[in-house]
Amino acid sequence: MNKRIYTAALSAILIAGCSKEKLNLYPYNQVATEQAFRSETDVTFDINGMYNGLRTSTSYFVNGIWNILGDVLSDNLVLNTLGRQSLKNPYYEYRYSATNTYGLFGSGYSIIRRANAILENIEKFPNGTFKNNAKGEALAVRALVYFDMSRVYSKTYLNASDADFTVPYVTTTDATITPANEPVKGFYDKVIADLTQAETLINANNSISASNTVSRLNKAAVAGLLSRVYLYKGDYSNCIAAANRALGTTPNVGSLTTFGSIWTDATDAGVLFKVKNTNLDNLNAQGVNYYQTVSQGIKSEYNVDYNFYQLFANNDIRKTIYIQTSPYSAVNYNHVIKYAGRPGTPVGVVDAKVLRTAEVLLSRAEAYYRSNNVAGAVADLVLLKSNRYTGYVAATDNALSGTALLNEILLQRRLELAFEGDRFWDLKRLNLPVQRANKGDKADGTGTAPLFTTLAAGDFKFNLPYEQTELNFNKNLKQNPGY
């Protein structure tokens, strides 16, 4: 960020963001922050600005490409050659470089700056629920963003050596620092520390209103985020414990009859945390990332990978909620319609579901399996599948064990979180390759096949590069190997 921005008023930054989403944001804005944190009303304004960063970043939720990037990079999607070729270069064809890479690095630090400003000023307020919630939310948002940045730019905990590094973990608004990369393993400890403290602080019922309970982080949502981090760390006992706190005794993953309504915002069943996207906001990137509707039909940017589509059984309700097989210019394609949006709004105007109960349940199921608790793993698997398959009979799943059980849990994770930007990071976590079908974009598998069908497990391309302008700005920042 240019020096001229350092003197901008913090309150304006918290709502409007920065003029450039570059790393030059972690030398934070030098401002008279006492003027922006004089009252609880000011703090509420600043908290809203922090959440607004999650919504308006062109690299993240709602207005960005987060909900498609991890699928484009993986084996869930195939490029539609009739689309705009969006994300083909650099992501779909793995051509990213230091001069052509993902912008979450800069926009992530923009959001983190807002969280750090709150944390640096909240202690002046009296102890109580307001202060606890504000501090807890800032800690949790900071940890959420940092963890996603680490998934993008570095190896996961289980695959990292002591020498492997990730992004700097900045906790200050000091504009003079040029921080160095953080070791991956120490970085995870800091994310966990932030989330653990946040969970102790945030009220269980923290919300905007009685009818809007999941667009602010509450205790269950933070516990769910902790379960996600612990799964990536391979700390399965703590993953289970955090998931238990998030899920409670009767987890609601969305039923056979309500699950489809989650994606039109008619219900929050099974949603632990989402980023609001109001009709006034009218941000449609989540849907437009996947398709536009024109006179010839749905015109997709990407269609469902042929082999992946075959994994959706006909009695799986996700098949028709997530995917529509229909013609474009008289040719059938498997279109991703998960983000069609609310009735009466343009395609893609819908809230961003950041964390759902189903993910936490599947994380717990995997952690149970890896902890040799087969009964617990099976019970969670059955709970999910009974709410996703019509006519479901549990006998086959009740008999699962060993590798077959793990494979089914991982399959359900892939199906459940499809087209939410999760797949590529999950393959990295599991140290598995990308294996795309050598099939085209049309529903019958014909058409143009991917130029690159595989990415070997552990390939350096699993870690995206830092932007060269950021490296030029901060001489203490190291580029990822291979770039």
Separation CA 72–CA 305 (nearest Å): 10
Task: Point out which residues pair with 292 in neighbouring strands.
Answer: 299
Q: In this predicted model, what pLDDT tens digit does every residue of 208-256 receive, in sequence order?
A: 766 668 999 999 999 999 999 999 999 999 999 999 999 999 999 999 9
Q: In this predicted model, what pLDDT tens digit does every residue of 74-106 receive, in sequence order?
A: 999 999 999 999 999 999 999 999 999 999 999
The distance in angstroms from the start CA to the end CA of the chain is 23
Angle (deg, nearest 10), helices 40-56 and 129-153: 20
Angle (deg, nearest 10), helices 374-386 and 357-370: 150
- The region of weakest confidence among 11-15, 157-161, 304-308 is 11-15
pLDDT of residue 206: 82
Separation CA 27–CA 138 (nearest Å): 19
Q: In this predicted model, what pLDDT tens digit does every residue of 373-384 receive, in sequence order?
A: 999 999 999 999
**Amino acid letter, residue 279:** N
Q: In this predicted model, what pLDDT tens digit does every residue of 324-345 receive, in sequence order?
A: 999 999 999 999 999 999 999 9
Task: Point out which residues pair with 271 in neighbouring strands.
Answer: 356
Residue located via tokens 């210019």? 329
pLDDT of residue 112: 97
pTM: 0.93
Task: Point out which residues pair with 326 in neighbouring strands.
Answer: 333
